[in-house]
Structure 1
Amino acid sequence: MRDLLPEWVAVEVAGEADYTAALLPAEAAALSARAVANRRREFTAGRTCARRALSRLGVHGRPLVPAENRAPVWPDGTTGSITHTAGYCAAAVARRADVRAVGIDAERRTILPENVRSAICRPEELAWCARRPDEDWWAAVHFSAKEVVYKLWSPIMGTWLDFLEARLTIDVDRGEFEAEILPEKLAKEPGAPKLFRGRFHADPDLVRSAGVVLE
């Protein structure tokens, strides 16, 4: 994630020990006793990475409990994002004086089932993917980038943004994307940003995406 974000965003990627690190009491209390082992590992790694990133901003020992939408409640004056997928977890945080929102996401580079692709991609996006027949994992890039867009939208607007309410344009050569929020969504959300930008990178088995909103 480090190469996808400005240098003033603190980024931490989980190592194996982070998945079994000690949670702070408030974090442990927020984790359901019914949570399966994999959920516990992901939650633990995410909080551990996020607290380590916050410490680089001078914020130490603050628990990160989930809000109703399961996103972390960040300490005053900060904002951030956590992502986890099989075998990978990362956190990115920044000062609110520098940025309105930070979003990161990681997904396995895989071919998504048709019903999942149609829930993520608009018809024009599916057509774009279809024109890349030798690289049919591009729907996973749309998935990852749109997750970033939602993570940027949510702390600013406090409302839900559906995958199909954003139209994505991908610049393959530059590793960049733009997401245009549809006019009908903007009509219901006065003051909402109209356009989000970010960067992505596709490794052999992992897609990483990230973006920030400055103003």
Structure 2
Amino acid sequence: MIKLTPRQEQILNLIKEAIDNTGFPPTRAEIAQELGFKSANAAEEHLQALARKGAIEISPGTSRGIRLVGQKDAAANEPAMQMPPPSNFMSLPLVGRVAAGSPILATEHVEATFSVDPAMFSAKPDYLLKVRGWSMRDVGINDGDLLAVKKIDSAKNGQIVVARINDDVTVKRYRKTGATIELLPENPDFKVITVDPEADDFALEGLAVGLMRSWVN
């Protein structure tokens, strides 16, 4: 059993809550702000300590490159047969480019169907969306990745969503203040999208609940 200090347990719980609420881990800056650290460097020191103790894994080069390893470590102690039987898998349609004005799961948008283990994701997804572009690069969502999406009609601030604005479908972080809805990129090269409730046709198409690195070109 991993022995953690009270502060390390606090940070580990914060990471777990962020993943449960948004599907993705927090940044160092978010950890520092939440716990009252003076800088992100203090958060980094605690994260490195957690990594040394085997509670998390850190991927260099991304602001949210933090992964919990408790489930993986537990699996390592199981018998050699790791792959669940096919009956435990679920079929998910892969949505590619979405035509303007048509439902995201319209037949013409489905490029393929994948059998996946639902345990890979924070919640049961309804479809996979092929990511286009680099606006979410700093959260580890890259061009060509397959985003696991659960259909929703509302979202909490900070969650990563698939949203439709007029004729476009986009992946962004959701923020609503009063009547104002903003869609935030995770790449400083991209601008925040502010939804005009009077002029824009806006709808939430789903919530990001996990990610698969694409092997599909």
TM-score by length of 1: 0.29
Larger-gyration structure (1/2): 2
Kindly indicate whether structure 1 or structure 2 has the higher relative contact order, using CA contacts under 8 Å at least 6 residues apart: 1
